[in-house]
Amino acid sequence: MSYAQSSGFFRALAEVALPQRKCRISSVALAFALAASGAGAAPLGAAGKDPIQTALRQAAQQTLEQYAAAHDWKDMEARYEVWVPEGSRRLPACPRALRIEPAQEEKLPWGRLSYLVSCPGPNTWSVRGRVEVKLWLTLWTARNDLPQKHALTEADMIGRRIEVTRLRDFTVNREEILGLRTQRRVRAGQPLLASTLLPQLAVRKGEQVVIQAEKDGIVASGKGEALENGSAGEAIRVRNLSSGAEIQAWVEGPGLVKTRF
């Protein structure tokens, strides 16, 4: 990555001075003791690493590692690509700890993250930077092609390490998706995401169920047979075992359906 110096200090300030905004990704600003050594007017990065780039990478890494620990990620791999304006290398050295704040309302600590870096004084300045965080994890994927509304078993799943940078609704915990059903057909190798899964079955085809009917505050119940699988809230066909009539009912929970008038 090239960080060529700009033509002058005043041009640098014009390029990088920005208003300050807050973000959900962290409830407090991240501060790093990155005061540059030497005279106050020395350019950042004149010797060694650029303090602004270092601070941005540390901010992104710290936030992601905290998130990973909270979600029990054991085998996370992340890569960080930092970008700052060219003019930032001509800013005067900050004698105090740089202040790092997220500049956008980011909910997840990976992908493209924007930050505001500022020097609290006496050489007050601010600059916007960006960190591209790429993330790899082992996710549960379909071992074979799976049909629509298929209830997942251990045999259906295999762990595979994939880049999840563009994903938002994945899980690394197999127990969270066991028994859930595919919303649509899933091809072998595809990750099993929450958006592609339906709730666990509460009633299975062929099972005996209790049919409840309520009208004007009066509740009646009888026995029935489920003619389809169903999750809570879904409508399924049920046979009334007393009359033999086939009706539509809504699944309330395990072994229980209700009719609607």
88 close to 36: Cβ distance less than 8 angstroms: no
Q: Which residue has the higher pLDDT, 211 or 87?
A: 211
Tell me, what's the pLDDT at 45? 38
Give the chain's mean pLDDT.
Answer: 81
Q: pLDDT for 33-90, tens place per residue? A: 333 333 232 334 333 468 899 999 999 999 999 999 999 998 999 999 999 998 888 8
34 close to 55: Cβ distance less than 8 angstroms: yes
Confidence label for 93 from pLDDT (cuts 50, 70 and 90):
confident
Q: Which residue has the higher pLDDT, 26 or 96?
A: 96
Tell me, what's the pLDDT at 41? 29
| CA gap 75, 23 in Å, rounded | 28
Tell me, what's the pLDDT at 149? 85
Q: pLDDT for 171-198, tens place per residue? A: 899 999 998 999 899 999 999 988 889 8
Query: Residue 171 forms beta bridges with which residues?
Result: none
Global pTM reads 0.66
Residues 6+ apart with CB under 8 A from 164: 110, 135, 136, 137, 139, 170, 191
H-run or E-run covering 162: strand 157-163
pLDDT exceeds cutoff 80 at 115: yes
Tell me, what's the pLDDT at 46? 35
Tell me if residue 182 falls in helix, strand or coil: strand
| CA gap 227, 1 in Å, rounded | 63
| CA gap 227, 224 in Å, rounded | 9
CA neighbours closer than 13 Å in the CB half-sphere of residue 38: 11
